Amino acid sequence: MGLTRREFFKVGTGSAAALLLGFDARPALAQARELKIARTTETRSTCPYCSVSCGVIIHTLGDKAKNVTAQVVHVEGDPDHPINRGTLCPKGASLYQDILNDRRLLKPQVRRPGGTKWEDISWDQAYEEIARHIKKTRDETFVEQDKDGKTVNRCEGIAFNGGCTDTNEFNYLVVKTMRSLGVCYLENQARV
Ligand code: SF4
């Protein structure tokens, strides 16, 4: 049978190949998906990546068993959400890997000036080094008055750039901390 390019992508490459070979794999693929989420708890949430705010459904297993930590097994677009109607862009479609990823760094690392390799350090060492760098940079770059003699009390040597998955609460603390240091180059995406 012939398939248009649009039909090929619509049914997915696996089932399209099956269709070309003369059988329809769509029921089997649909059943496999149903089995994957058969006993899950559905939690509706919002994709954190951009301000489109697409709705997602997070499927977890184990929520109702005693002494079991719930495990995310699947994330998909929410078909009832008025913004995205079940669709997700590639970033949103990779949300599962944002939640569970064996490549996630779990300890602080540092790359020394001139170095080519990242080095593991302890949290205590990271706090101490970050605090020392901030203090030194602020002492060296703090501007009390501008060239016209106006009091400005700003730190021009430090900038803070937040991530899209930072929560409103985290960003509230960031703004309080950075403003208290006089930092004016401050950016975040407070919407989660
Ligand atoms: S799925 Fe894509 S478009 Fe939708 S909120 Fe997430 S990043 Fe934005």
Q: At residue 72, what are phi and psi to the nearest 5 degrees?
A: -70, 125
Mean pLDDT throughout 97-115?
92
Confidence of residue 38 (pLDDT cuts 50, 70, 90): confident
The helix (H) or strand (E) run that includes residue 155 is strand 151-161
Confidence of residue 66 (pLDDT cuts 50, 70, 90): confident
In this model, does residue 184 exceed pLDDT 60? yes
**Single pTM value for the model:** 0.65
Ligand 1 neighbourhood includes 95 CB (under 6 angstroms): no
Q: pLDDT by residue (tens digit) across 126-154?
A: 999 999 999 999 999 999 999 999 999 99
Rounded to the nearest angstrom, the distance between the alpha carbon of 109 and the centre of ligand 1 is 30
Helix axes 13-20, 26-36, angle to 10 degrees: 150
Ligand 1 neighbourhood includes 52 CB (under 6 angstroms): yes
The CA distances from residue 85 to 55, 76, 77, 88, in Å, are: 8, 11, 7, 9
118 neighbors 107 (Cβ within 8 angstroms): no
The CA distances from residue 141 to 55, 137, 159, in Å, are: 44, 6, 12
86 neighbors 77 (Cβ within 8 angstroms): yes
Residue with CA nearest ligand 1 atom 1: 92
In this model, does residue 10 exceed pLDDT 60? no
Ligand 1 neighbourhood includes 49 CB (under 6 angstroms): yes
Q: Left, alpha or beta for 153 (phi > 0: left; psi -120 to 50: alpha)? A: left
